[in-house]
Every structure is written in C-alpha cells, then in structure tokens.
Amino acid sequence: MEIIQVAQHADDLDRAAAFYERLLGGPPAARFDPPGLLFFNVGIGRLLLEQAAPSALVYLQVDDVRATTEELRADGVEVTGEPHVIFTHTDDTLGPAGTDEWMSFIRDSEGNTVGLVSHEPRHDP
C-alpha cells in the first residue's frame, strides 16, 4: 500500500500555485476550478490543494534542509522552525542507516505549516 494523495487547505489557489510551484520546482499537474482543486505530482503521490480541505502537516523531502530553508527565507518565506537534527538512523527502519535526519518548518502561502526533511551522512563531533 502507498499513499497516493495528501490534501492541504488553500484559500487562494493562484497564490498557492505560485508558492508550491517554487517549492516543488514544477508547475501544477491539474487544476479544476470550480470546485477549487489544484494538484501537484510529488514523488509517487499527489499533493491536492483544496479550498474545502482542512489544514494538514505535510513533510516534503528535499536534498538539503539547511540550504533549502535559507533559499526560501531569502524569498520571504516565514521559517517557523530552524533546521536541526531530529533523529540519527542507526538502521534502515525509518531512513538510511548512518544518516542524520534534518528537519525544518516553514509557513506556506496559505498559513499551513510544512516540514522539510533531508537525510545527510552522519558527522560525529
């Protein structure tokens, strides 16, 4: 079984389209308005931005949390949680063994919190 779609609330589909196109690096896959639906393909699933959907906490994998967070901050995106190591993977249960899981949090154009995640080789102090 795989997740096929995650829905996220969006008041303004044009504003949300611009925000997520920048964040995800590509245009929406489809838009149906009415009834107010905007789709992005993300990995094997879809992100649905919908006016009637409740807010959800979505986590997106990026290549480098620290760099992505700084790029978004420079674009005026609000950072609500600074990049930090959340977990060290000693085995492959939840991520690649021998990596640190980095995470930060941003606020999207619609006021939703979005988590950014990357796995980076562990560097012992």
The pLDDT, as a whole number, for residue 3 is 85
Please list the residues that pair with 88 across neighbouring strands: 100
Residues of the chain with confidence (pLDDT) below 50: none
The Cα–Cα gap between 8 and 109 comes to 12
Question: Cβ(45)–Cβ(39) under 8 Å?
Answer: no
Q: Mind listing the pLDDT tens digit for each residue in 85-111?
A: 999 999 999 999 999 999 999 999 999
Question: Cβ(119)–Cβ(100) under 8 Å?
Answer: yes
The pLDDT, as a whole number, for residue 2 is 82
The pLDDT, as a whole number, for residue 112 is 96
